[in-house]
Structure 1
């Protein structure tokens, strides 16, 4: 461990220790042991005590979320061991991982391994659920496959979010926040009765912030010299109808609009060879990128706009009907629409190489209708809890992906990367790579998912309980793709191969450079491409739990998880042998990939210790993933492969402790996970020629899979006198080192780190007002979100000429918040 990291780690946990022991010195000893309040979760689609559920669940209350400054699922990681959430080329592309397992983002064709469910509604991609969570009652992070009960595609876990509902008493509150980077925010909420049988709740928020990155714009249409800004507002309204004691209907509508700049990357590693791609870019446009490999100077280079305009809206209705004392019916109907228009400086330099326009044409849209119906009840004098249900989801996904050449692309790529060879065969400026031309691809995907499921718990004895769940899923997808290529160079390059072979020993390399995916008009020859696939799969679980006494329950469980296959929404091509040994770069109309499966075993214990003051839960797990879906950016395109086998094994530990010091509470946990890709060869891949891009993977640890992950949150509350209250919180998250690139290139390694959030507030004892000072990333830890290949700037076999970039984590932010309750 580096000395600086050791000091940071020590300092971070010293803060937590100080919170525990420093405040203890000023607090009166409690007169009696304080018990942890019972924690109710719905991990099995019914309300149960956390200590009765044979599943690894990290439950975070709404109060702790507020204390730790958590507003979205990415910030949730500070409170959850084993959970990693990152975003990449724009804020709409968010990926959650549990125990090191998740689906790499930047490709809407791939669904998430970690499902996000908000108020019972499954969100089709993690990015669709990214935003201000507002008023939250609790969040449950369920680890391991949860495909029996939760929506679809939850092979790694579930983030189950339960927001606050309407109340029968009148409540009103507001919040104003200011901070560095020009940050400001406002939110307000009103809840209460409307009639004797109807209650309502409305929440509104607006937040804005300047960017974390300074931007060198060079010559181009970009005018803003900052990036990673925040500017959005959100509205959420609810109605609760209770026409009788046996029936309630909760209707929720929400709308969010974002208009932000995101996300520029910084140069993470720059090869220093005289002919490096970075120096070639500098020859074309001096001062276009950072040659020093110092990404945390937070200096980005971008001559094109990175606007992102996002709209997210939805409507849901949940009906709960108690048919009789032993049977209830639940129906959740939802419609959601999510669309994003994004611009991108796709070369991440101030040279004008390649870009995606910000005029609204480059866009993605999801529309989803879902219906879940559950019938549940008890039988045999309460010894049997049974549940049967059905789920249907219809998803329409429409994307238009534009990728254009800029003014400098020919001078950089044809004249320098390809050593001006294109001009020798007549491919001069104006014949290929013309500015404003490139690829324009349209995809329309329709998906339908049907599922029948059951989950039943039977008490064999008062101490021994068996839970069995089963789900049958039919997943159908159809995709229509229309490719358009302008400024292409591949046909000309292939035709010139014999002449090039007589002049150069690198003819294949030159032709390959002229036949990258976006430069190959063979895709146009495919016409409109239609693909479809259907999968019919079983998943399920079996759990055996034994309660030794009221304070100790142990269990063993097996779960079979499934995540549907699909289609890569990027161009794919194969290299065939042409006449005379010439390479034939052929457009591949089949972009499908197989479904992903996991077999998971767990052995765990849930205990209540020290007269109820400490909840301590432990579990050991072993998960085997087959046909693991991997999405990788190779510098010129996204490829999707299914790795034969990934094994994740380790231990989870969670605790909640109400200490003997009145007002002092801790919550935390540790995850140790060895998440390893099992050895494979080129012949095991969908496309064997991709092996070179993935050559570091066989036998290695998966990306974003730290061996160790630990979280610790401490909260202290005490009376100050004069009807004032002090409330403070420190939350810390430790992760050991892990690689942030799906190809595991060493330059993309994130060292071990500790992130700390801290908050201290003083307010009225009746909570009518509170003023808080806060800091997120208190010690200003520098860390990567994602490392990636510089577009058109990487030679996979020669780092000395390559450029690798990074999307950075947020720096330290500090500020103040005023809360009012009326």
Structure 2
């Protein structure tokens, strides 16, 4: 029988056991002293093969990151960073941003029927909104290009080198929409010599098939390039009993090309182009419970339950999504200085169809939505990096972004056989200009000071017009209206700190950071006069102390971070009732805070065995909530948890290889992730909680790296846990979103290098 964790006794028992941890900092320091090592190192770790290393034993290879806008060792920078290796993600069948949240305990993700409404959270903080008039709190940066809308970054990634998760405010170097953190994605450089690869995988429970391929190499003495592509199709693991179709799947294609031109040793020009298209049929929620006998009867033969994987729908919820872009990066060595210019254009088209009533009730009742998004952004960044090793090391820069969103949203509402139609056309234009710089003062070889500042000026404007066939409000549709508005704001963000090398293998730092996220408008289909005022900018004050250490001749690495961040004018969605439907209303929610401890660990125990783990305790709470006028939800939420933020979350992993005499290798991998109870809604609805649960994965592979092939067998969710990645309330029911690994499944993967 499937083991269910939603509101289960086992889940509550786990929570009670962890409730005894009264001092998470003490536990984290104890674990560090026992010998963890930076899990961020683990995925990219390799066993050294040089004679010197052979005498001292296997070591972990140092990881280089760009978290400070220049390449530096992860263990040397005063920033809390988790690094996930791209090749390991591909081997684990983790193909996009949302799939890495199990491996990075401080990272969480809100899924939805449309990727337009998805959100990333770091340290418990993220922005939940469907409005194009607000920015994400967690910035997504791919190859130096900041993505203006959160939904742009949810498609599959190609030629991934690594993902850096920068935890805490990063507004000084990465911009105003990085007040909770940054997801910094780095793709692979073109290879020096001609090479290529083919990769195929097949997984059960939904007939998932994926193909990846790529080729690249040097074209001339000064030019090299690469091109890669993917094809993926998954039928899904949810059944629509209305027509027998499988849903909750996808059909995706993508291509990525890269050219690197180096006319001399001082100049490098990198051109990157990418195109991705996806057709996802994620249902608009799967009903798990209802208090309405009429609704339960209309839902039959579907039976609501915490592990329900069936819907009854007459309108297929799906999203057609296209993301494309071109960027050019110039790196010019001016003596010992480096001048970098990144120019980019991106376009994002999103077309969503949603069954708002989640029933097959035509012709008597229905609520069907059809929305289109057309987003374009242009960005320009110029940076100057000083030489390393001087008393003053700095990065100075200027940044500009222009973004424009045009949306059309249409809703058909049928009640008692009477149809009403509403359509809204709205647009948002944003312009942001910034000057920034961060300086490191090398007072001695061991002692450094950090000073960084960023000045940002934002301009934001919107236009909105809705036309309805009804002169009065009907279910789901407000009467006709139009409005427009604009706002200009400017503010400072920055970082100040001290860094000290206690020994060659132990570094500590203490920093204060001020985050800033610009003004916002709540622009959506049912926008009303009360929504025409702009939201104030969101600011944050963050304090962090960190230790980074290595031991046992670099076989063991441990990183520890302790943090506390206060947010003012927190921009959040709060549940409200508009025209008889539950909606999320964007407000300045008041003051919230997040504090906690993070420990990343990794150990190269033997040449064949690597152990790794990560632990995060995050207390993300509402400090002082500002209840919006006319709110239809509970406002007594002070002291309650922020959505999508479990208190405890952990990840452990073991990788073991067995070399055979005939040149073959057997590779065994297992990992387990566990998270505490999580509340999914700001109004603290007791029915939108997911109980604590854990997921166990494992794989076995046979490889011949001399001949360039690898075949693996993977098992996902081996303990067969059913859980929700998000939950929300309808008018008289609760629904969840079903993850890919909602039940146990298996697959095979074959990879060939040539």
3-state SS, counterpart of residue 149 of structure 1 = helix
Query: Which residue among 349, 366, 372 is the counterpart of 2:381?
Result: 372
Shift of 1:91: 3.5
Q: Aligned partners of 1:34, 1:200: CA distance in 2, in Å?
A: 34
**Cα distance, 1:544–1:742 mapped onto 2, change above 3 Å:** same
1:786 equivalent in alignment to 2:726: yes
Q: Is the 8 A contact 1:354 1:403 kept in 2?
A: no
Q: Is the 8 A contact 2:121 2:180 kept in 1?
A: yes
Q: Show the counterpart of 2:688.
A: 748
1:688 equivalent in alignment to 2:629: yes
1:306 equivalent in alignment to 2:306: no
Q: Show the counterpart of 1:520.
A: 478
Q: Aligned partners of 1:92, 1:256: CA distance in 2, in Å?
A: 15
3-state SS, counterpart of residue 679 of structure 1 = strand
Query: Which residue among 249, 252, 268 is the counterpart of 1:232?
Result: 252
3-state SS, counterpart of residue 283 of structure 2 = coil
Query: Which residue among 589, 598, 608 is the counterpart of 2:540?
Result: 598
Q: Is the 8 A contact 1:264 1:301 kept in 2?
A: no
Q: Is the 8 A contact 1:402 1:439 kept in 2?
A: yes
Query: Which residue among 193, 196, 219 is the counterpart of 2:221?
Result: 196
Shift of 1:268: 2.1
Q: Show the counterpart of 2:23.
A: none
| 1:372-403 Cα deviation digits (max 9, x unpaired) | 10011127x62221111011110011111111
**Cα distance, 1:281–1:612 mapped onto 2, change above 3 Å:** closer
Q: Is the 8 A contact 2:107 2:121 kept in 1?
A: yes
User: Residues 694-733 of structure 1 correspond to what in structure 2 (within 5 A)?
Assistant: 694-733=634-673
Q: Show the counterpart of 1:316.
A: 327
1:355 equivalent in alignment to 2:364: no
Q: Aligned partners of 1:717, 1:134: CA distance in 2, in Å?
A: 27
3-state SS, counterpart of residue 569 of structure 1 = coil
Q: Show the counterpart of 2:347.
A: 337
Q: Aligned partners of 1:71, 1:215: CA distance in 2, in Å?
A: 26
Q: Show the counterpart of 2:270.
A: 250
Q: Is the 8 A contact 1:405 1:438 kept in 2?
A: yes
| 1:244-282 Cα deviation digits (max 9, x unpaired) | 1111111000001112312231112211xxxx3xx3346
1:182 equivalent in alignment to 2:207: yes
Q: Aligned partners of 2:540, 2:501: CA distance in 1, in Å?
A: 28
Q: Is the 8 A contact 1:90 1:263 kept in 2?
A: no
Q: Aligned partners of 1:288, 1:363: CA distance in 2, in Å?
A: 32
Shift of 1:226: 2.0
Q: Show the counterpart of 1:101.
A: 125
1:389 equivalent in alignment to 2:397: yes
Q: Is the 8 A contact 2:575 2:633 kept in 1?
A: no
The Cα RMSD (Å) is: 2.3
Shift of 1:476: 0.7
**Cα distance, 1:312–1:107 mapped onto 2, change above 3 Å:** same
Q: Aligned partners of 1:713, 1:591: CA distance in 2, in Å?
A: 49
User: Residues 80-229 of structure 1 correspond to what in structure 2 (within 5 A)?
Assistant: 80-180=104-204, 181-217=206-242, 225-229=245-249
More helix by share: 1
Query: Which residue among 774, 797, 809 is the counterpart of 2:739?
Result: 809
Q: Show the counterpart of 1:667.
A: 612
| 1:675-726 Cα deviation digits (max 9, x unpaired) | 110133xxx34x3222x51424222111111110111222222312211111
Q: Show the counterpart of 1:456.
A: 439
**Cα distance, 1:696–1:761 mapped onto 2, change above 3 Å:** farther
3-state SS, counterpart of residue 693 of structure 1 = coil
3-state SS, counterpart of residue 63 of structure 1 = helix
1:636 equivalent in alignment to 2:582: yes
Q: Is the 8 A contact 1:264 1:300 kept in 2?
A: no
3-state SS, counterpart of residue 717 of structure 1 = strand
Q: Aligned partners of 2:161, 2:525: CA distance in 1, in Å?
A: 43
Q: Aligned partners of 1:232, 1:50: CA distance in 2, in Å?
A: 34
Q: Show the counterpart of 1:17.
A: none
Shifted more, 236-245 versus 107-116: the winner is 107-116
| 1:136-166 Cα deviation digits (max 9, x unpaired) | 1111100000011113301110010100011
User: Residues 460-539 of structure 1 correspond to what in structure 2 (within 5 A)?
Assistant: 460-490=443-473, 518-521=476-479, 524=480, 526=481, 528-539=482-493
3-state SS, counterpart of residue 148 of structure 1 = helix
1:625 equivalent in alignment to 2:567: yes
Shift of 1:610: 1.8
**Cα distance, 1:351–1:620 mapped onto 2, change above 3 Å:** same
Q: Aligned partners of 1:57, 1:282: CA distance in 2, in Å?
A: 47
Q: Aligned partners of 2:72, 2:157: CA distance in 1, in Å?
A: 24
Shift of 1:101: 0.9
Shifted more, 562-571 versus 173-182: the winner is 562-571
Q: Aligned partners of 1:119, 1:148: CA distance in 2, in Å?
A: 18
Q: Aligned partners of 1:814, 1:106: CA distance in 2, in Å?
A: 35
Q: Show the counterpart of 2:294.
A: 280
**Cα distance, 1:175–1:105 mapped onto 2, change above 3 Å:** farther
| 1:546-602 Cα deviation digits (max 9, x unpaired) | 1011101111000001111211122567xxxxxxxxxxxx74361522211110000
Shift of 1:656: 2.1
Q: Aligned partners of 2:270, 2:65: CA distance in 1, in Å?
A: 19
**Cα distance, 1:476–1:695 mapped onto 2, change above 3 Å:** same
Q: Is the 8 A contact 1:390 1:451 kept in 2?
A: yes
Q: Which runs of 5+ in 1 are unaligned?
A: 10-19, 21-29, 218-222, 411-428, 491-513, 574-585, 794-801
Q: Aligned partners of 1:288, 1:632: CA distance in 2, in Å?
A: 31
Q: Aligned partners of 2:462, 2:707: CA distance in 1, in Å?
A: 54
Q: Show the counterpart of 1:771.
A: 711
Q: Show the counterpart of 2:20.
A: none
Q: Aligned partners of 1:161, 1:384: CA distance in 2, in Å?
A: 28
Q: Aligned partners of 2:251, 2:381: CA distance in 1, in Å?
A: 34
**Cα distance, 1:8–1:726 mapped onto 2, change above 3 Å:** farther
Q: Aligned partners of 2:177, 2:535: CA distance in 1, in Å?
A: 15
**Cα distance, 1:785–1:106 mapped onto 2, change above 3 Å:** farther
Q: Aligned partners of 1:335, 1:819: CA distance in 2, in Å?
A: 33
Shift of 1:105: 4.1
Shifted more, 812-821 versus 772-781: the winner is 772-781
| 1:171-193 Cα deviation digits (max 9, x unpaired) | 11110111111111111010101
Rg (Cα) greater in structure: 1
Shift of 1:71: 1.0
Paired positions, count:
703
Q: Aligned partners of 1:767, 1:97: CA distance in 2, in Å?
A: 42
**Cα distance, 1:6–1:537 mapped onto 2, change above 3 Å:** closer
Q: Aligned partners of 1:251, 1:332: CA distance in 2, in Å?
A: 10
TM-score when scaled to structure 2? 0.89
Q: Aligned partners of 2:156, 2:707: CA distance in 1, in Å?
A: 23
Shift of 1:207: 0.3
Q: Aligned partners of 2:321, 2:180: CA distance in 1, in Å?
A: 27
Q: Is the 8 A contact 1:89 1:106 kept in 2?
A: no
1:561 equivalent in alignment to 2:515: yes
**Cα distance, 1:654–1:591 mapped onto 2, change above 3 Å:** same
